[in-house]
Chain A
């Protein structure tokens, strides 16, 4: 029997970790952008679900995978804008509105699939295809690296490129400065002439689009069909990664990657003689350990007492 150590170093595990991390990474960056814009996007789950459903349906009916993916991302973007509008125009609580959008997405996607296909489970009866994988000629033949990197889905690559993109956006562009200023203190931002609402709308649109990409990956990359509620709580795990990552791009990147790796590890270890209940606690136990370590380090540096954001 192979030991746990062999499993961690195997190319199967590493490739799986990249795949499993993909939706976490994208959704977590979606959550991060919204959080830094000052509106919590708890609707990541619903946006992913709506995008997954729209993507599979449009791709199935039009025969174009690209059109399906774009439609999915568009729907999620619109849901992001809707959340911003509910918050900014109607003064709704972002958490309540987000929960509402999640419920709406769960019901509406099931209804849409049933209306169009007469199937209450999902779109597995519809041939909708998947987004292309990326072969890497040259690297392909390198023993472990080739197995891990080559043949990953296009969206997996995009997910990993999202980290430098968001870091660049936050710290190197005017929009990023505005976004962070608005999220930190909207009144101060407004006083120096930053168009607060416009920046928040843009932030939530980007947040929705990233969640949408995560959703499209589930139904058009990971598998080739949509199933009712197939996001299975991934949006909420991504949200946990946002905070575990300390609201910083590379921190969020590591947290989301950590969740993905822990889940992939649980999958690879699952067939060994380890109790499944124990294995399935790995991602959650890891969260607690990481949070404890984080708090301990802050305390040692003497920044344990954080001033409330409103001061």
Chain B
């Protein structure tokens, strides 16, 4: 019992996080930046930060993850990191030749008070940024928000630095996919394509972090939104932003900067959220939904119909990121399941309000907490057990100790593959989630059934 240290009684903790359900901003910024074509993310801090982010992303994606660092030393920490960043910009452009350097800050450089825009301007003045190349930045202090905030800030940085209005609107929609997997981004683009909606997606990590084996090593894989596309995003007719927390800030910034109106929706996970996404795209682009999408939707509804007897009243505990959890909770409620314990480490009271609203008709008390952690979730579980756990790999400790099946979902997944190849967004993604949930529940039922009621047909 690895978690034998967890007591059942919950005591308010004010000074301590145990087994976090979040991590820090810079890793989200690094992930977002990898969704720009030819971009080298740059961590303005000491060497450890980016080593940890690269390792974690590598463990999750099983792909090389490139990034650079300002390599702060004691001197830089006293006198500021300007010299380091200037030298880094110079070195990076002369050897690695990226299109873009995306600088994110760390707790160290934020506390020292480095002024990144001023340093970038200085680099430009000194000719350290070759013509046609770009340096963008986001402020991502680790002691504010979480990895989701960091992602949101870097996506907003793309708008702040690179989006331009060319004075007229072009028939094209911007898609901001949220902090989702490369395959989810691909799936969202595919759905837009099925609808016949011209689009620009940013960021776009497909074909960056789920790239094929070719026998060659590419420092800059072929995927990612290009700088030209990011510029054009300022002249699109509208933006559909998926995930309020991860995509909202960039969408609003684009509206303010280039007058591109935005719709901010939940991540299209599950039926209702995908319906809302398709419907919004249809309206903005003035198209009709093609049969192909209706068929996909119909299949999802069909499988729910076929198997709904197995969903009813199953209790579920969830840990993860706010945007994902909101859509997933809605999906589970629509399946007649009971999501009863829900935590995210990411701060934000709106999350709790939203979850309470979604679960108001669940015939069972529901625990929800932003700024929670997995220790708290475990304590809740001890008082009120569940049939299923859904969340990242770190839930495997609880799953093992309490003998509860776990469906891996979210970030990070360090011990299984599939998450970067098989989407969970859209109707097809819904089908995959259903399959995973049913496999977990029915495998358990098979395992535990007494011989006489061990059934062939289910």
A binds B: no
| Residues in chain A within 8 A of chain B (CB atoms) | none
| Residues in chain B within 8 A of chain A (CB atoms) | none
